[in-house]
Structure 1
Amino acid sequence: MKYRIFLSAFLFVLLPAFAQAEYRVFVLKITKKSADPQAAQTQDFRLVESTLDHVQYRYYYPVAADEEVTYIDTWRCYGRTGDFQPHCPNPKGQIPAEPAPAP
């Protein structure tokens, strides 16, 4: 009987303490659609980091009908996202810079 109580306490109290949270960050490109093919090359766009993918983003945030949301990049982050913490940096962009040549 004592063994079951100890096992239950371990499963319900101690085991969740070892659980780790993770989330995914997406880089989305929001571009204004244009009917003019010449203007397609010089379109204005903005890049957004979000925990929502390109389909979910449109339903959660206001996006104009003439704007297109495109998925660019993604990576996984470990930890919590509460308290408005910033997203973790992209590990692909953490390449050490080459030393500058001496003058």
Structure 2
Amino acid sequence: MKYRRLLSAFFIFLAPVLSHAEYRVFVLKISKRASTGAAAADQGFRLVESTLDPVQYRYFYPVAADEEVTYIDTWRCYGRTGGMTPHCPNPKGQIPSSESPAP
């Protein structure tokens, strides 16, 4: 019985020390939907880093009805997201800027 309490106390106090927070960052492309008669090429778009996936992003931030939110890239970050800390950098390299999109 004594060992059981000792073991329980050990896990209760050790669990917070061993737990690690993590979150996922998504790169989302927000662009106008091409109409049926228009060319398939995107005229204008913006890239956004967010912790929300494409479906969640549409419900949380205002996106026009004629815009689509597309998933481009994702990676995992370790640590807390509190305090308005910036997202961790992409370990695969830099994301392409809006001015020079990747082919």
- Give 1 or 2: higher helix fraction: 1
Shift of 1:16: 2.0
Deviation of 1:80 after TM superposition, in Å, equals 0.8
Provide TM-score, normalisation by structure 1: 0.81
Q: CA deviation at 1:42?
A: 5.0
Moved more, 45-54 or 12-21: 12-21
Q: Which runs of 5+ in 1 are unaligned?
A: 95-103
Letter in 2 for 1:26: F
Task: Indicate the residue corresponding to 1:19 in structure 2.
Answer: 19
Does the CA contact (< 8 Å) of 2:32 and 2:42 recur in 1?
A: no
Secondary structure of 2:92's counterpart equals helix
**Paired residue for 2:44?**
44
Q: Report the 3-state secondary structure (helix = DSSP H, G, I; strand = E; otherwise coil) of the residue aligned with 1:47.
A: strand
RMSD: 1.6
- Report sequence identity in percent: 73
Partner in structure 1 of residue 73 of structure 2? 73
Aligned length: 93
